Structure 1
Amino acid sequence: MRRIYLDHTATTPLDPRVREAMEPYFSELFGNASSAHSYGRQAKSALEKARAALARCVGAEPGELFFTSGGTESDNLALVGAARSAKANGRTHLVTSRGEHHAVLDTCEALQSEGFTLSLAGLDEHGKVSPEQIRALAGNTTSVVSIMHANNEVGTVNAVDAIASAAHSSGALVHTDAVQSVGKIPVNVRDLGVDLMTFTAHKLYGPKGIGALYVRRGTGLDPLFHGGGQERGKRPGTENVALAVGFAAAVEIACSSMKEESARLAALRDALEAAIKARFPYVMINGHPSDRLPHILNMSVDSRKMPMEGEMLVMNMDLKGIAVTSGSACTSGSIQPSHVLLAMGRDPETARATIRFSFGRSNTEEDIGYVVENLGEVFGQMAGDKMNTEPFGSSR
């Protein structure tokens, strides 16, 4: 059976060039970057070269980047560390949106047990957060405003620069989760105007288990962990040099080929979207029509026209050899409707009957026809005699 991977927002395969860059640091270059001898100095040099490479790709200074175990830890460090630091100055209010990744939403909710209050900005019908909302919600007690750069489920890109300007007018710090956007679209921390930014390696054909947090110089940030002085005291623990080297290699490869690869992925996404719209009139496309990532296409079956057992869509596509998901990989095991789609105004049944396609380097034009034909078969099988399957199967 033919197999097609269309879940590159969940994770990506390790690029062979990245593996090659990492391999020496699993063997002969095994030193601890905190050691003073030659083995340690070799490791420290590789670590700092990796940090500098990441900094160049996002417009930061090397000293403003801190290695973590991944996007979730970076989000936690940004929110908890900045909020606790600002609490001493009477800033005990947080602002985020209803469409954030749970690494942000759950962390903000957890901070309420420490005396913080939380305001949630809504999403428009395309999944955007408006700067005007942020300006209205943020006040002189707001410590951190956290709004993602690009939504991981529907691909909508927020105007983070305008959001940051609105938040800064109240004196709040601004964090953005850019896990899905770095390496896909241009990301520059100076242009965005943010104080903190999360990104990670495994969405970019790098290794799992490593991420980074950008912290603008001068930003207050309490560490989550204690027990060592690594990462300038912000993230103690022996650094994983091999993963840092792999992270840097992956980001450099992605950024150097971003213009051409993003255009290629956008063409594949647009071709699939056009085919779905033409063939399946019961399907709704989720996300902004233009301000979106090049590789994500999110669609739902409109429950007003055709009720469907949404949790079976992904499983039946998998039986056809097509790997897709219903939303965030961190929550796709749940049968609950997407909180992002609910915030965009979709009803629960439509939100459940959702597929997210996310393209990557392995995908080609030949995949489009195969996906559309098998999607039609899945729709027909699931709908049974509850519908006239002709509109799904026709090409008119």
Structure 2
Amino acid sequence: MTTHKALLLSSLTTPISLQTVPTPSATPGSATLRVLAAGLQSYARAIFTGALPYALALPQVPGASCVARVLEVGPDATALLPGQLVWVDATITARDDADCNFLLGLHGGVSAGSQKLMRESWRDGCYAEIVKAPLENCYPLDEALLTRYGVEELAGLSTVLVPFGGLEEAGVGAGTTVIVAPATGKFSGGAVLVALAMGARVVAAGRSAEGLEKLKSFPGAAERLVSVRLVSDVEEDAKALFAATGGKGAKVYMDLSPPAAGRDGTPTHVTACLGALKRGGTALFMGGIQRGVEVPYGLMMFRNLTVKGKFMYERTQAERLIKMVEFGNLTMGKASGMTVAGTFGLEEIEEALDFATERTGWGGDVVLVPNA
């Protein structure tokens, strides 16, 4: 197979289009894979038009991660085999510089090195019939343990893996109280789901009563989930959040705010959540806010608080999270509201983009199936 179909983004001023492109071969350190399912973000159109200014290497095939089946492996592969079902991780890290990383087919990172790595070595992503990826980014999935899920549902692994990376690094476990705010988006909803699976007591906060209601169906929610509807008043929200922790404060506050949240300065929920942390607590910033936010200096000092940024996750964390899903410790799919609202072929990309734009909250995922 010398060619295959792929969605090519040539520029930010022309629509993404389906093209016939050369099929890559597996080289040392890589594998080629047949893409079965790849999630389409609600903000994908904003990236493709430049409204969301992500670093890209145009022309390129977008698509950050996917579930795929191995076609061919490079000569240095020792465990990965053709035919295996795998999850392809979007986080690509330079082999000679751990500080140099970017997101496959999505964002070239912030350094010249990471953008060079995207541009010259791993330009094309998963919105294609075939994708080439580093061996270390291909995580085998145990099909015998995952029969309860379809590949479209497994495409949502990144939704829960991203928050897991931060929660585990912050020491979240049984008995830990965690505030997630906002908590009704895809990744933030994933943070609530994962924190409950890790044994934490979770305070889920947001402005949408309907969105907060969805979280109550999560496994463990009846016993360990409290929701707080925010009113955009720092003092009132901080008081409500603190009360929801049992009056003792939270050990961890995870923020997965979308880019729009920081448009007009520091969002009120950030200040309120910092005020609801206990002494020695940690605030995890893992969202999409592109501008600076203010922190209350005196509060940070007197309570010995830590503000920590976390980009994605580590390889060992990805392996642990996949085992949690395989062994049933973490429930995905319909049982946790991780529903698939629509699946689309590559030729239906415009319809898929319109459909995805309307689905920003928890559940209702949109998935591309290039080889349906």
TM-score, with normalisation over the residues of structure 1? Answer: 0.33
TM-score, with normalisation over the residues of structure 2? Answer: 0.35
Structure label with greater radius of gyration: 1
Q: More strand per residue: 1 or 2?
A: 2
Q: More helix per residue: 1 or 2?
A: 1
